Amino acid sequence: MINSLCLYFKSCRMLIRSQMQYRASFLMQTFTQLVMMVTELLAVLILMDRFSVLGQWNRGEILFFFGVISTSFYLCECFARGITQFPPLIAQGDLDSMLIRPRGVLFQVICSRADPRRFGAILIGVLALILGSVSAQIHWTSFKMLLLIWTILGGMALVCGLFLIEATLSFFSVKRIELVNILTYGGRSTCQYPIDIYPRGLQLLFTLVAPFALTTHLPTAYILDKPLWGAGAGWSLLAPLSGFAFLGLMTFVFYRGLRRYRSTGS
C-alpha cells in the first residue's frame, strides 16, 4: 500500500512537471479554469443577492455547500483525471499494454493523468468554504473540522465512482456516453445547492443513484447546525462512507467489464 502511494505521487509529480514545460499554455489554461469557477461563484452570489434565502438556507450556508462540492469534485478531477480519459485508451489500443504490466489496470489509469490546471478551481472552492464559514458564523469544533475533511474525501471517492461508470461503459461502446454527464457534471452543478430545495424526483436521484446528498449534504448540513432528515452526529459521520461504498461497487463493476474486453491486437 505504501509503495503504491509512493508510486502514485511520483507519477503525479512527473506529470505536473511535464505540463509545466509549456508554462504559458499551462498558465493560460489554469487561468481559464479559474475564470470559469469565478463565474459560477458569482452566479451563486448574484442569486443570493436577489433571494436572501433558499428554503431554510441563507447566503453563507449556500456558499458553504458550493465550496464542499466544488472542492471535492475538482480535487478528484485533478488527481484522478486518468479515469475520465479511459475511453480513448480502448479506442487507441493503449489498454493492451497495461494488461501485461504487474500493476492493476485501474491503478495505472489513475497514474496516467493528472490535471494541475484544476488548482485554480480548487482554490475557488476553498475560498467559497472560507467565505461561507464566516458568513454562516459556523461554530467550529475539532469534530466539525475532521468531519469536513472526511466529507471532502468521501465526495472525491463518489466522483471517482461516477467517472468509473463511463469508463465501464466504454467496454461496450468506445464512443463517449454523454448521458453519464447527467450524474457527473450535472450532479456537480445541481448539488452545489442543498438537496432539499429540489423536487422529490431530483432528491431521489441524487440520494439513491448518485448519492451526493448522502455523501456530502448530510454531513455538511450537520456542520451548519441544520441537520437534514434529523440526522445526528453519528449518521453524519457515517454518511461519507456511501461515497467509498459507491467507488467500491463501481470498481467491482469495472473489473467485471474488463473481462469482456477484447484486445485490439496492438
Give the pLDDT score at 114: 76
The type of residue at 30 is: T
Buried b or exposed e, range 169-182, using 16+ CB within 10 angstroms: bbbeeeeeeeebee
User: pLDDT per residue over 83-126, tens digit each?
Assistant: 888 877 877 777 888 888 888 888 888 877 777 778 888 999 99
Q: In the predicted model, what is the mean pLDDT of residues 159-183? A: 81
Percent of the chain having pLDDT more than 70?
Answer: 95
- Whether the per-residue pLDDT at 3 is higher than 80: the answer is no
Q: Would you state the pLDDT for residue 265?
A: 60
User: pLDDT for 123-132, tens place per residue?
Assistant: 999 999 999 9
Average pLDDT of the segment spanning 49-57 = 81
The per-residue pLDDT for range 179-238, each reduced to its tens digit, is: 778 888 888 888 899 998 899 988 898 988 889 999 999 999 999 998 888 788 889 999
pTM equals 0.89
